[in-house]
Amino acid sequence: MTLWVGLVTCELLVPGAQSLKDKRRAVKSFVDRAHKRHRVSVAETGHHDVHQRAEIGLAVVAGSRGAVERLLDSLRSLTDELHDAVVARWEERVVCADEWDAEDERDDERADDEREDDMMFDTGDRR
């Protein structure tokens, strides 16, 4: 079975927030609802000290790309249901864990090549 991961960065505008407490209430409502309804990882990841803006990070894991995409679509629909916030930005990425393995192998090969290059130019002088 292949592991698929969906990652989202979402920016919410909370135009009615007059304080950080107002913003946190709106953000917490979304975070709790997303986690409860879809069992996804979700957290406020940016704009912590700004009254009317929040950055939210979401992560989902499933056994197929289609399942991840359906979850992301459902989460996007959930943001459309918000009464006290609107989505200003929604960036998503779906990645296969097999791609990570291939990327890790390429990184390992590059590191090995760099070590070999360093050894070729090493003078042995270790003062």
Domains of the chain, each with CATH number or no CATH: 4-96 (3.30.70.1120)
- Parallel, antiparallel or unpaired: strands 41-46 and 86-96: unpaired
Name the residue among 56, 9, 47, 49 with its Cα closest to residue 29.
56
Percent of the chain scoring above 70 in pLDDT = 78
pLDDT for residue 35: 87
> Can you read off the two tokens belonging to residue 33?
């609802």
- Parallel, antiparallel or unpaired: strands 53-62 and 86-96: unpaired
Q: How confident is the model at residue 115 (pLDDT cuts 50, 70, 90)?
A: low
**Per-residue CA distances from 118 to 83, 89, 112 (Å):** 58, 44, 10
pLDDT for residue 112: 65
The C-alpha angle 117, 118, 120, rounded to 5 degrees, equals: 65
Q: What is the mean pLDDT of residues 24-36?
A: 90
- Scanning 61-96, the segments in alpha helix (DSSP H) are 65-80
In the predicted structure, residue 100 carries a pLDDT above the cut 80? no
Q: pLDDT tens, 33-86?
A: 998 999 899 999 999 999 999 999 999 999 999 999 999 999 999 998 888 999
The C-alpha atoms of residue 90 and residue 107 are separated, in whole angstroms, by: 29
pLDDT for residue 120: 54
Percent of the chain scoring above 90 in pLDDT = 61
Helix (H) or strand (E) holding 30: helix 20-38
pLDDT for residue 110: 67
